[in-house]
Amino acid sequence: MRGRVSSERVLAKTYRHGLIVGKCAPLHRGHMLLLDAALEQCERLSVWVYSRPDFPGMPGPLRRGWLRALYPARLFPGLELLPDAPQPPLNDAPDAVHHEYVRGVLDGWGVRPDAVFTSEEYGEAFAASLGAAHVCVDRARQIVPVSGTALRADVHALRHFLDPLVYAHFVRRVVILGAESTGKSTLTRALGEAFGTTWVREYGRDVYEREDGALTPGHFLEIARGHRALEDEAAQSPGVHKWVFSDTDATTTLMWSHLLTGAAHPDLRALADECRARYAHTFLCDTDLPHEQDGWRANTEVRAVQQAFIRQDLEARGVPFTVLRGSVPERVAQVQATLSATGGWA
């Protein structure tokens, strides 16, 4: 009996119901430290993410999505993400206004915490307004020396304070297009090295060689999905920094499906349509490089037809693109100049 009681006391939580209120814009390791401390001490934890004005580049549903992904319900059944509430006060409204608003909304929801967890100076008064204890975690920012304000000012320089899943949201994709033997693969790798980031090879070659060239529309859908999965993986990889450079996209895969099978899966057409919004920049490798035959490629005349198809498709879809010419170093320099001119790289 004594052993069982002792075990129960060890497992007992300090608080019945904890509360965290914040912007989480973006969700960083300081927030995660706060969440971990609250989860350890509370039987139940409610987290309310709100901001007014909201952040256009990372709205509330996205920020709650980060929390759901990093703290899944099956592993953290005591964690509850509170929904949006109407007309929150402006972020710069007096603390008393925020206190009254939070208290009124929580009462309406039936949320009555006995502990409030913060890393902020205002935490004591906020907790008192709810009749709850205040638990301060890393107020001096010694364990995780960062803030949301600092991250919003330079998210790439401070990316090590973000989980890879969160940082992936700020990584921008750049796609390199072109017909066969226009230097896409070599250039994509060179860009990854020049920018110190990750790059994605053309997945279609894997499937093409696996099937010995006997592809169906279903294979091309597999190629497009597999390639997107590689891009998503690269955006969350340890070496990513600001950009992911990708060799080919679903629009080119759609072209090849029509050229080689005379048809295309409807889902592949949908993936191709999404490419305009998926990539921050599109570059088209010109055909000024010598054609190289590797046993799988067609001849120079077919390459010209492929290039015309790709260019026509970009123009028909209204996708802005930059044509790259010259040697690989010259093309890398052209990409650097283009991204620098748009404010995306320096």
DSSP annotation string for 291-342: P---SS---HHHHHHHHHHHHHHHHHHT---EEE-SSHHHHHHHHHHHHHHT
Domain boundaries, the chain: 2-161, 171-341
Beta bridge partners of 273: none
What single DSSP character describes residue 87?
S
Domain 2-161, what fold? Rossmann fold (3.40.50)
Confidence at residue 292, expressed as pLDDT on a 0 to 100 scale: 60
| Phi-psi sector, 129: left (phi>0), alpha (psi -120 to 50), beta | alpha
d(CA 296, CA 152): 47
Q: Does residue 26 have a cis bond before it (omega within 30 degrees)?
A: yes
The tens place of each residue's pLDDT in the chain, 346 residues long, gives 334 333 344 468 999 999 999 999 999 999 999 999 999 999 999 999 999 999 999 999 999 999 999 999 999 999 999 999 999 999 999 999 999 999 999 999 999 999 999 999 999 999 999 999 999 999 999 999 999 999 999 999 999 999 999 999 999 999 999 998 899 999 999 999 999 999 999 999 899 999 998 999 999 999 999 999 999 999 999 999 999 999 999 999 999 999 999 999 999 999 999 999 999 999 999 998 875 645 545 556 788 889 999 999 999 999 999 999 999 999 999 999 999 987 654 4
With a CB cutoff of 8 Å and minimum separation 6, the contacts of 322 are: 281, 282, 283, 284, 334, 335, 338
pLDDT of residue 290: 73
Identify the CA nearest to 200 among candidates 211, 189, 212, 187. Answer: 189
Are 2-161 and 171-341 the same fold in CATH? yes
Structural fold of domain 171-341: Rossmann fold (3.40.50)
Model pLDDT, residue 343: 61
d(CA 242, CA 155): 9
Model pTM?
0.90
How many helices (H) and strands (E) would you count in the chain? Answer: 15, 10
Token pair recorded at residue 270 = 């949908």
* DSSP symbol at 157: T
Per-residue confidence (pLDDT) for residue 299, from 0 to 100: 52
Distance CA 19, CA 196 (A): 41
Quick one: pLDDT at residue 11? 64
